[in-house]
């Protein structure tokens, strides 16, 4: 049974983030997206659990202090269910997609792409999702991407060290392989940083503080490298120029168009939206 600790609420979408970090998590079902966010906040704000269905069913976002470790900044967090996979056919999901891109359109400091450390061969869902993002947001999206590998639990570190070294290999590690995959246009200057964390037992735990300190540093380094500017693009600016139903319809039209270009299978499942 999924564990629902707190009702997750959706405050109004208009936000004034200013100095706040804005992070969105992306990734396939059950990778540890919501757990990662709870660890950052040191509070169970997002439902987590093991389930054959997505535990996170709707977009949820909130702004709170980044507490692991205490960095003295607020973070606006956007949690997502999987999008545009075979289950995403109905109106609710179209609304989710519209709400998701609306929340992002105010600017994003980093996209955290969450992957289980034991499932690092990018599955087709994750590849398609990344292609869709690149098509919709443009290749500069990659300058804001951070890959977060979960389930690097402290007691597993001795076993995982070899895998981690392989993933980090500059010649044929994770980032190098991703750059060679068909259908991606990753700018050579985009660094594609990898971070390794465990989302369990994070309270008063030096190992967790070290992993999440590195995550914060990586996100902050992205921010500096991007001149302190949050990610935006023509699509986001267009989203902001519409209101209400027109905005929703514009987003759905744009997602379908992008999906048609990159992933015909997704376009079919979106066709009923
Ligand atoms: N051991 C271990 N378990 C983890 C870790 N991260 C997440 N889990 C567990 O993995 C399961 C799925 O985690 P969630 O955070 O709900 O995953 P999610 O990606 O948000 O899942 P959906 O919302 O369904 O897409 C839960 O049972 C978590 O407790 C980790 O780093 N280590
Ligand atoms: Mg979740």
DSSP string, the chain: --B--S------S----TTSEEEEEE-STTSSHHHHHHHHHTS--S-B---SS-S--S-EEEEEE-TTTT-S-EEEEEE----SSTT--SHHHHHHHHHHHHHHTT-BSEEEEEEETT--S--HHHHHHHHHHHHHH-GGGGGGEEEEEE---GGGHHHHHHHHHHHH-TTTSHHHHHHHSTT----TT----EEE---SS-TT-HHHHHHHHHHHHHHHHHHHHTTTPPB--HHHHHHHH--HHHHHHHHHHHHHHHHHHH-HHHHHHHTT-
Q: Which ligand is nearest to the CA of 26?
A: 1
pLDDT at position 267: 47
pLDDT of residue 92: 67
**What residues have CB less than 8 Å from 36, skipping those under 6 apart?**
25, 112, 114, 148, 150, 197, 199
0.85 exceeded by pTM: yes
Ligand at minimal distance from the CA of 33 is: 1
174-228 pLDDT, tens digit per residue, is: 999 999 998 899 999 999 999 999 999 999 999 999 999 999 999 999 999 999 9
* Bridge partners, residue 79, by sequence: 60
Domains (range + CATH), the chain: 21-270 (3.40.50.300)
Query: Best substitution site from 199, 201, 207 to test ligand 1's pocket, by max atoms within 8 Å of Cβ?
Result: 199
Which residues lie at CB < 5 A from ion ligand 2? Answer: 33-34, 55-56
What's the pLDDT score for residue 163? 94
**Torsion-angle region of 123 (φ positive above 0: left; ψ -120 to 50: alpha; else: beta):** beta
* Pocket around ligand 1 at a 6 A CB cut-off: 29-35, 48-50, 54-56, 81-82, 150-151, 153, 198-200
Maximum C-alpha span of the chain: 53
Report the atom number in ligand 1 closest to the C-alpha of 47. Answer: 16
The tokens describing 115, both together, are 């992957």
Return the best residue to mutate from 32, 78, 148 for the ligand 1 pocket (most ligand atoms within 8 A of CB): 32
Report yes or no: 91 and 205 within 8 Å, Cβ to Cβ. no
Residue with tokens 């905005």: 247
Which protein residue has the closest C-alpha to ligand 1 atom 25?
29
User: Which atom of ligand 1 lies nearest, measured to the CA of 30?
Assistant: 21
What is the per-residue pLDDT for 138? Answer: 96
Query: Which of 112, 126, 145, 24 is closest to 83 using CA atoms?
Result: 126
Report mean pLDDT in 10-residue bins for the chain, 273 residues: 43 63 92 96 93 80 95 94 52 82 94 93 84 94 97 97 95 94 92 97 97 98 95 97 96 91 59 35
Strand partners, 249: none
Ligand lying nearest the CA atom of residue 150: 1
* Closest approach atom of ligand 1 to CA 153: 32
Ligand 1 atom nearest to CA at 48: 16
The Cα 91–Cα 270 span in angstroms is 10
């Amino acid at each position: 049974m999924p564990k629902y600790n707190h009702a997750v609420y959706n405050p109004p979408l208009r936000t004034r983030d200013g100095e706040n970090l804005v992070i969105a998590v992306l990734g396939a079902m059950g990778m540890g997206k919501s757990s990662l966010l709870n660890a950052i906040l040191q509070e169970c704000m997002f439902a987590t659990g093991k389930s054959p269905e997505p535990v996170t069913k709707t977009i949820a976002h909130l702004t709170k202090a980044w507490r692991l470790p205490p960095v003295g900044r607020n973070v606006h967090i956007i949690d997502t269910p999987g999008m545009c996979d075979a289950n995403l056919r109905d109106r609710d999901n179209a609304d989710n997609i519209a709400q998701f891109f609306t929340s992002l359109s105010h600017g994003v400091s980093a996209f955290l792409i969450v992957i289980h450390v034991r499932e690092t061969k990018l599955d087709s869902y994750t590849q398609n999702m990344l292609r869709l993002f690149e098509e919709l947001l443009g290749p500069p999206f990659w300058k804001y991407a951070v890959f977060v590998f979960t389930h690097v639990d402290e007691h597993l570190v001795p076993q995982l060290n070899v895998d981690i070294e392989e993933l980090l290999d500059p010649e044929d590690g994770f980032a190098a392989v991703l750059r060679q995959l068909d259908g991606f246009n990753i700018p050579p200057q985009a660094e594609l940083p990898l971070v390794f964390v465990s989302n369990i037992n994070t309270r008063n735990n030096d190992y967790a503080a070290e992993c999440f300190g590195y995550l914060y540093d990586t996100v902050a380094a992205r921010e500096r490298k991007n001149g302190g500017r949050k990610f935006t693009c023509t699509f986001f600016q267009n989203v902001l120029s519409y209101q209400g139903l027109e905005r929703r319809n514009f987003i759905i039209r744009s997602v379908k168009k992008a999906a048609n270009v990159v992933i015909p299978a997704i376009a079919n499942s979106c066709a009923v939206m």
